[in-house]
Amino acid sequence: MANIQPFKALRPKTNLAKQVASPPYDVLSSAEARQQANGNPYSFLHITKSEIDLPENVDSHSQQVYELAKQNLQAFRHQGVLLQEEKPCYYIYQLIMNGRSQTGLVCVSAVDDYEKNIIRKHELTRPDKELDRINHMKITGAQTGNVFLAYKTDLTIHQIIEDWKAAHHPQYDFIADDGIQHIIWIVNDEGTNKRITELFKNNIPYTYIADGHHRAASAAKVRATPGNASSTGANYFLTTLFPSDQLHILDYNRVVKDINGMTAGEFLKSLEKDFFVGKVDKAFSPANLHEFGMYMNGSWYKLVAKNGSYSTDPIGVLDVTILQENILDRILAIKDPRTDKRIDFVGGIRGLTELEKRVDSGEMKVAFSLHPVSIEQLFSIADSGSIMPPKSTWFEPKLRDGLLTHLIS
């Protein structure tokens, strides 16, 4: 059963919350982070992507970058930008995007739960991305990135959270520059916190990683580092738990650098073995399962998987699997998208224009748009112990970094 605990969050002064809060480190490039933090000395990007404070030619994974992140975090604390809670608390985090609301519980989850598969996974991780977060956590002594967990909705937990929201004023309430509203309440009553802990222990057999596989894997490896095995802080990692009925999954699209030495005509012909292929007159976002959009040479195409081109098991039926097996692997020779440098992934929140931009610039040769995975599919696959192809799900809205940080040392 789920082992969660309240914690003493490191959090911003109330009047600085909007300035401190930043998008997750892994949704921005260094250049985008540099631009977004420009003119804002309080942006948490100075900690999560501290290369923005160094010359542009500095390797973003160098020791210098992690040491600067530590220095910046210490400076934020010394200046009073960030303050630590006096006693362990839970935190309620509500996000409102385009009129749709979702409310989660910010806590720390046990690394033991991750290792025992009580926290269930559906993706493999990339060693280089793990190493980046391992170094960041070890050197800063902090978990700055939140792992987004889902759980099957429990009405008792839901009511406790809603009752607290109704009876208390939020600590933070602001609308970020992207239009998403962020509201956070501090649950500082020991009796309520004990009740929440017990409910998760008794009612919630599993939680599921929705977003943050690399952060969770990295936290487990940091705990295993000599000297950290007995550290209370390192035994837990920063998470926010959302009930399944409030979550919304967006598409997670692909862009590829080349078409494996083929001409465009040869590539289109090779697709016809497993897909019906037709040109369309505008950007194509699939409305149905087993449909795909494809952008190449300034044109959009609609691909529909033929019957018999995929299996009907829980993994084989996924559109990300159909794309991987029948196009990326069979035709383009991208065997492992976790490590192959010819492929990149684009979250659906960026829209289809981002796919066009990446291809039209010449950086990429072809792009694919997909239909989103459902939360029911995610739970089913994670429960079966199966693994989705990497970057199968994109959740929105994103939690902001910097509002609640977990110190491990």
Neighbours of 281 (CB within 10 A): 7
Distance separating alpha carbons of residues 252 and 391, to the nearest angstrom: 7
Q: Label residues 22-45 b or e (16+ Cβ within 10 Å = b).
A: bbbbbbbebeebbebbeeeebbbb
pLDDT of 186-199, one tens digit each?
Answer: 999 999 999 999 99
Peptide bond into 170 cis (omega under 30): no
252-371 belongs to CATH 3.30.1760: yes
Q: Which residues contact 226 (CB under 8 A, 6 or more apart)?
A: none
Domain ranges of the chain: 4-249+396-407, 252-371
Q: What is the dihedral of CA 214, 218, 219, 225, to 10 degrees?
A: 170
pLDDT of 227-269, one tens digit each?
Answer: 655 557 899 999 999 999 999 888 999 999 999 999 999 999 9
Distance separating alpha carbons of residues 121 and 203, to the nearest angstrom: 20
Distance separating alpha carbons of residues 280 and 272, to the nearest angstrom: 16
What average pLDDT does this structure show over 307-317? Answer: 87
* 80: Cα within 13 Å, side-chain hemisphere: 2
**Is 106:239 a contact under the CB 8 Å cutoff?**
yes
What average pLDDT does this structure show over 103-119? Answer: 97
What average pLDDT does this structure show over 306-319? Answer: 89
pLDDT given at position 338: 81
pLDDT given at position 227: 62
Q: Please report how the helices 155-167 and 190-203 are oriented relative to each other, as an axis angle in degrees rounded to 10.
A: 160
pLDDT of 16-66, one tens digit each?
Answer: 999 999 999 988 999 999 999 999 999 999 999 999 999 999 999 999 999
Strands 147-151 and 236-243, by their bridges, are: parallel
Residue 218 Rama label (left phi>0; alpha psi -120 to 50; beta) = alpha
What type of residue sits at position 65? V
3-state secondary structure 14-54: HHHHHHHCECCHHHCCHHHHHHHHCCCCCCCHHHHCHHHHC
Q: Identify which has the larger pLDDT, 398 or 73.
A: 73
Q: What pTM was computed for the model? A: 0.85
E strands, 98-189, in order: 100-110, 119-120, 142-143, 147-151, 172-175, 181-187
What average pLDDT does this structure show over 343-362? Answer: 94
pLDDT of residue 212 exceeding 70, the answer is yes
E strands, 223-268, in order: 236-243, 249-250, 252-256
